[in-house]
Structure 1
Amino acid sequence: MSPSNPAPIQPTNSHHQSDEPMRNGPLSPSAQAQSGQDAFDESDACQSVAEYLTDTSNYHHDLLYDLFEVVRSTVPNHADTLLQLIRRHASIEEVRAYLDQTLAEMHAAGKDDHALQQLYGIWQFIEVESEAPKFRPMMMDIRYLTGNAPYRVPAKPWTSVTDDDDLVSHLVSLYLTWDYPFFAFLDRKSFLKHMAMGNVESDFCSPFLVNALLANACYYSPYSEAYSIPGDVRTKGADFLAEAERHMKRHQFERGNDIRLPTLQAILLLYERYSVSGNGDHGYAMLHRAIEMAESLGIVNHKKRELKTSQMSEDMILSIKRTAWGLYQIDTVVHTNFLKPSRVNSVSIERIARDDAGAGDMWTPYPLPRPARLSYLSQYFDDACQLSDIARDISRSLSKSGNSDPGYKKRKQELYMRLRKWERGLPPCFDPAEKPAPHILLLRMRYHTLVINLCFDALGPNARLSSQNQTHDANQQFNPFEIAIASARSIASLARQQRTEYGMEHAHQFAMYAVNLALFALLEQKSFDILDQDFLTLTSSFSIIACRSQVGRNLFHLFKLSVRSRNQGSRVAQSTDVPPGIKELFRQETGSQEPDRWDHYAEGLTKTDADSSYIDGMGSKVQSSAATGMHDMLERYERLSVGKEERWPPSRTSRNGTS
């Protein structure tokens, strides 16, 4: 038979005994699960996640079967395009792009409901990721994607790791799309302009900065080029990181007025990188170094100063403002996350005006085939800085041991009311119903994490053990436990929207913190229900985010042990509404336990266990045991991601007693 007339391929399904190609056979298992239900119903989403986690062979079987169903059912143009993609060995990303486009067209035209359900089912399966992405063709995928990359920049002279402009453009576009907006501590336009110019002596770009950025960008890429060893998340961006570290040694003696802004920005990027790869105390080391550099430049923890155009360009003024206020945000996020006082007490220069820059900028969800939308980055940045002011004050009140001071609870309530006022002041375009860009969803998650930390801190380190914490009092206006649980459920709702709109594969690392925190808040309930839909939603999202980094995998392992310690595995096993993957994840512990597919997530925890300095203050507990509660989990999270801050001296501000 000629290549132009290939023989029909038949799915090896037990329903079909005939050698003839089936034209109107029964639905595949995944399609049966979808039939008659909304494609984005959350129970279906959880089931899809868990079934994919459980049986990869079923996933590939159903995917192949559904693809042929779509070919038979859709309009000819769609079927022809899909076949062409398959024949030219298209990647999953390419098929995914086509499926999303087809979904939108078919939904608008109202055609073929059965095919629409099939496409939704395929999209749902591809959306889920429980392991490192499989090895994929190297060059074809990148060439396909970079044709639509929003930013085009050269590889040379910035890095020696690669001379591939397409790869570097792909990674820079990923970083600026999914990571940059959350803290926005460099000026994007100036950076891109000077990177394109190729001047390594630029005041806005440097090889150190570029390689640090590329190392971070690899966190968001599933392609083999992002790995030193394809599929091993520990090697994501390792080559770019090694080059960035070589450059860091050359810049380590920059002091005072000799400090270059790109060096400070690169140090902040390395902080982010180390905090997801679990490099001991390197996370805190980079953050503290960045704060010291900013203090030397006089842009934080100093009296107010004015930046004048007679002394520097407008681009430099904007870049300095972004870096100073971006550092402030990072510092307040890190320290409130882990119940510690922030080190940046004040920013010495004024903020970027709320409507000053990029008011009409668009955010494009590269590489997803979704429409661009307004980024509202200036408004976002201003609101995020205002939230950081509250977070700084919260961080000074947080305590790991509780506080019996009579005024303590009142201060907590006042801080909570400030948070509520901030939330009510957000612009209408930030409403989740408006389907905003993901950094706006993350901003709302950040608000809810502050609420949870504030409330659980008010309860003390043994919140679950105190019965009065969960007793409802109609006359009590500030009930920390109820407020914290409500915020945990709000994070579940935001995670659900993030996943529906953009997927979790590109979620910022802060989403992992928020989702994990919400899960442990729900676990603190005396009436905790393992079949709670919000809990399962968060678990599903956590499984996707966690597999992308070593720290994420370690945290997911600790979460698994903590849930199993609640001894509700039998309820999961007996439930007919819970898919096999969830049953395996939360199974009841027994004396002779078979390994599960997440056991290897514990790799790397033994290094922490072996370091006695990490066990000091934790009693006999080790990192590979279940967390006893919220505060215990946060202490472990901190040590896994950024290290031990106690090893670092107080900031210059604290030493001098200034603010």
Structure 2
Amino acid sequence: MLTLAECTPLAPCRNCKKGLASDHAIPATGHQHSDYYRDLLSDMFNLIQSANAPRTDELLEIIRDRGSFQDVRSFLDRALTVTHGSEQPEGASHLIQKLQQEYEVESGMPAFRPKVMDVHYLCDFAPFKVPAHPWTTATDDDALVSHLVSLYFAWDYPFYAFIDCDVFLQHMARGDTYSDFCSPFLVNALLAQACHYSQYSEAYTVPGDVKTKGTDFLAEAEKYLENSRYQKGSVVRLASLQATIILYEMYSMAGIDDYGYMMLNHALEMGEALGIINNPTPLDLARLNYSDEMTMSLQRTAWGLFQIDTIVHANFLRPSRVTDVSIERSDRNTSKPTDLWIPYPIDRRPRPSWLSQCFDEACELSYIARDISRALGSGERDQATLSQRKQEFYTNLREWNAKLPVYFSPERKPAPHIIILQMRYHALLINLYCDSFSEKPPFDSIANKRKRRDSLESNSLEEALRSARSISALVQLHRDEYGIDRAHQFAMYAVMLALFAFLEQRTFSVHDHDFRALTSAFSVMSRRSHVGLKIFQVFRHSVRSRLREDKLADFANLPSGLKELLGDDPQAVPASEGGYFENAGKLVQGEAGDEGEEQQHVASGIGDMLSMYERLSLGKEEEFEGRQRSADGFRFSPPR
């Protein structure tokens, strides 16, 4: 359950709800609020007076459709960028473009008027108010820290939920750095990860450079990381384990060497040392006389770690390392219908969180994912046995989905973590059939050379395509209700998997509505991380290569936006008789000197894409195992 610091317009109490004119109400109190409305009104006048009739009509249409103030603000930022660029003398438009480039962030078109102080304005509505001191030296700004903590618990936390939110916030507010539930290591790791969900310049070390998001906080977290490595056995600190899990997420988005697997393995070792996973004797927390706070936090962390382990290994078809969780699960019915998820900082209505119910369903799904990862990652080649196991997994997955609560239904427009949980279900269905078509050249686009597929493979492709379309529908729901620029990073994996499931199809068409919608979403999600940018480039060249032998005829009729995303100079992907597979053995190493190779690389199929995604985000597990790093090896953030 997410507790609110106070009643706010974005998180109104029951009495205040009655007084709000609409879900889009924004109060006009205080100096910053007055500035906001004055700028909004001034820009509306400027647009109307510019005699730009089409833009003015669009503005009026937004207002007639009951668009929010933020919708109008966003439209004016785009419209005035064009208007000012055309009306200013030569040189002024170049200045505007320069400003755009400096402040471009993952949500698409940057604001025409970058506002460094917006984070303080937003903090007035932040659900959680917490201090910067004594937790971090990267900033002394309580407003920024409150903004980032609120972002983390809105967008990142609910999917894994391996921290007890209430306990953490209470101990952070107390300022006790020796607490078992909050530490400078955990806070700085959390703030670094939260920066990926912020669109404001304070989240960047270098404005506009996605690789520097949160690196000031990360540099401080890494100072504590080495100390945590000496915590062994019963002296492992729970907050250190939680911080290590967050660093796994951070490093996997950054895509630096094999730090992702390093952090995941380190977290699993810490969990085993605490006895909360893979313990032959289950822990009796009642007999150990743990406090309620410790019991709830251990349950969250143990089962959250189980989910992460099964997601990672099922994603890349590798055997899960967690056999079982050694403590009982938290109460499924902790969350009440009145507990709300707050979509901070966007202007959307709160939704029932159903956090404990979602967590419990995710744990059930993780058992199926664990078994799938072990069956498909074991190297089993007995096709009869494997086919039987797959049918069992398919049945288990369908039964899990059928038993979901009715309030999880997409028609109810649930909170985003519930939407992404269902993306995970469909991603598992696609994973289940990946090896049915990963050893053949499925992207060969010449129909008369295509081999006849057997019925099992054909059924696998059909099932994968159905799930890909379901992922498309879920992504569109997320986009309609909350936008996708803050979607949890798992959504990017699910979208990528769905797109390559489309590319596997015999009758693939770049004009397919779901394929186009997923491509658009992928282009937005990918901008949030270094790995995302690389993966999107591989996808883009893979699509072009898939269509190249058709003379790229399909591109002629594409909408201009999609054409810009997928289009390129045909010479950018070198032609060869092998067509799609000319670079299947290569992998981008990732920095400036290899950009030419990156531009040329395409995936030979869904299996190759998964292998690339794994290497780029986590490293290669078999290359990591058994190796030790030097003390200064844990370093992603730039030296300060």
Q: Are 2:272 and 1:295 aligned?
A: yes
Amino acid at match of 2:218: L
Alignment of 1:155-194 (within 5 A): 155-194=132-171
Deviation, 1:526, is 1.6
Contact kept, 8 Å, 1:214 with 1:237, in 2: the verdict is: yes
Cα deviation, 1:406-464, whole Å, max 9, x if unaligned, reads 22111111111100000000000000000000000000000000000101223343262
Q: Are 2:307 and 1:329 aligned?
A: yes
SS of 2:54's partner is coil
Alignment of 1:136-535 (within 5 A): 136-138=114-116, 140-303=117-280, 304-308=282-286, 311-356=289-334, 360-399=338-377, 403-462=381-440, 464=442, 479-535=459-515
Equivalent residue, structure 2, for 1:626? 602
CA distance in 2, matches of 1:424, 1:374: 21
Cα deviation, 1:569-616, whole Å, max 9, x if unaligned, reads 7334421xx3223223333643389xxxxxxxxxx94447989xxxxx
CA distance in 1, matches of 2:350, 2:44: 39
CA distance in 2, matches of 1:399, 1:146: 46
Amino acid at match of 1:61: V
CA distance in 2, matches of 1:8, 1:633: 47
Contact kept, 8 Å, 1:564 with 1:589, in 2: the verdict is: no
Amino acid at match of 1:408: L
CA distance in 2, matches of 1:502, 1:9: 29
Deviation, 1:302, is 1.1
SS of 1:591's partner is helix
Structure 1 residues 134 and 181, CA gap change in structure 2 (3 angstroms): farther
Normalising by structure 1, report the TM-score: 0.75
CA distance in 2, matches of 1:506, 1:135: 21
Q: Structure 1 vs Structure 2: percent identity of aligned residues?
A: 47
Deviation, 1:27, is 2.2
Contact kept, 8 Å, 2:372 with 2:432, in 1: the verdict is: yes
CA distance in 1, matches of 2:375, 2:599: 27
Equivalent residue, structure 1, for 2:34? none
Q: Are 2:82 and 1:61 aligned?
A: yes
Deviation, 1:649, is 3.5
SS of 1:280's partner is coil
Structure 1 residues 624 and 240, CA gap change in structure 2 (3 angstroms): farther
CA distance in 1, matches of 2:517, 2:43: 43
Deviation, 1:136, is 2.5
Alignment of 1:56-135 (within 5 A): 60-61=81-82, 129-130=107-108
Cα deviation, 1:346-375, whole Å, max 9, x if unaligned, reads 101111121135664210000011111110
CA distance in 2, matches of 1:256, 1:399: 30
SS of 2:384's partner is coil
Contact kept, 8 Å, 2:106 with 2:525, in 1: the verdict is: no
Equivalent residue, structure 2, for 1:570? 552
Q: CA RMSD in A?
A: 3.6
CA distance in 2, matches of 1:420, 1:468: 31
CA distance in 2, matches of 1:481, 1:533: 18
Equivalent residue, structure 2, for 1:557? 537
Amino acid at match of 1:507: A
Count of aligned pairs? 541
Structure 1 residues 464 and 211, CA gap change in structure 2 (3 angstroms): same
Structure 1 residues 321 and 64, CA gap change in structure 2 (3 angstroms): farther
* Runs of 5+ unmatched residues, structure 2: 1-37, 68-74, 87-98, 445-449, 574-586, 628-640
Amino acid at match of 2:521: S
CA distance in 1, matches of 2:258, 2:284: 35
Cα deviation, 1:252-309, whole Å, max 9, x if unaligned, reads 2000011010000000000000000111100000000010111111110112221117
Deviation, 1:61, is 2.3
SS of 1:464's partner is coil
Deviation, 1:489, is 0.5
Deviation, 1:225, is 0.5
Equivalent residue, structure 1, for 2:638? none
Amino acid at match of 2:472: A
CA distance in 2, matches of 1:362, 1:201: 31
SS of 1:339's partner is coil
CA distance in 2, matches of 1:547, 1:357: 34
Cα deviation, 1:227-259, whole Å, max 9, x if unaligned, reads 001110000000000000001122220000110
Contact kept, 8 Å, 1:209 with 1:266, in 2: the verdict is: yes
Amino acid at match of 2:81: H
Mean Cα displacement is larger for which, 218-227 or 301-310? 301-310
Q: Are 2:4 and 1:27 aligned?
A: no
Contact kept, 8 Å, 2:107 with 2:199, in 1: the verdict is: no
Normalising by structure 2, report the TM-score: 0.78
CA distance in 2, matches of 1:413, 1:584: 41
Equivalent residue, structure 2, for 1:615? none
Amino acid at match of 1:637: Y
Structure 1 residues 63 and 500, CA gap change in structure 2 (3 angstroms): farther
Deviation, 1:326, is 0.3
Contact kept, 8 Å, 1:186 with 1:323, in 2: the verdict is: yes
SS of 2:275's partner is coil
Contact kept, 8 Å, 1:452 with 1:484, in 2: the verdict is: yes
Contact kept, 8 Å, 2:136 with 2:188, in 1: the verdict is: yes
Cα deviation, 1:621-658, whole Å, max 9, x if unaligned, reads 9785111110001100001001111134489xxxxxxx
Contact kept, 8 Å, 1:400 with 1:460, in 2: the verdict is: no
Mean Cα displacement is larger for which, 453-462 or 399-408? 399-408
Cα deviation, 1:179-210, whole Å, max 9, x if unaligned, reads 00000001000000000000000011000000
CA distance in 2, matches of 1:225, 1:506: 17
Equivalent residue, structure 2, for 1:590? 570
Structure 1 residues 286 and 128, CA gap change in structure 2 (3 angstroms): closer
SS of 2:619's partner is coil
Cα deviation, 1:529-584, whole Å, max 9, x if unaligned, reads 00111001000001111111111101111011101101257334421xx3223223
Amino acid at match of 1:375: S
Contact kept, 8 Å, 1:464 with 1:525, in 2: the verdict is: yes
Structure 1 residues 6 and 218, CA gap change in structure 2 (3 angstroms): closer
Equivalent residue, structure 1, for 2:27? none
Equivalent residue, structure 2, for 1:100? none
Contact kept, 8 Å, 1:185 with 1:324, in 2: the verdict is: yes
Structure 1 residues 366 and 261, CA gap change in structure 2 (3 angstroms): same
Structure 1 residues 264 and 403, CA gap change in structure 2 (3 angstroms): same
Mean Cα displacement is larger for which, 399-408 or 352-361? 399-408
Deviation, 1:405, is 3.0
Structure 1 residues 30 and 539, CA gap change in structure 2 (3 angstroms): farther
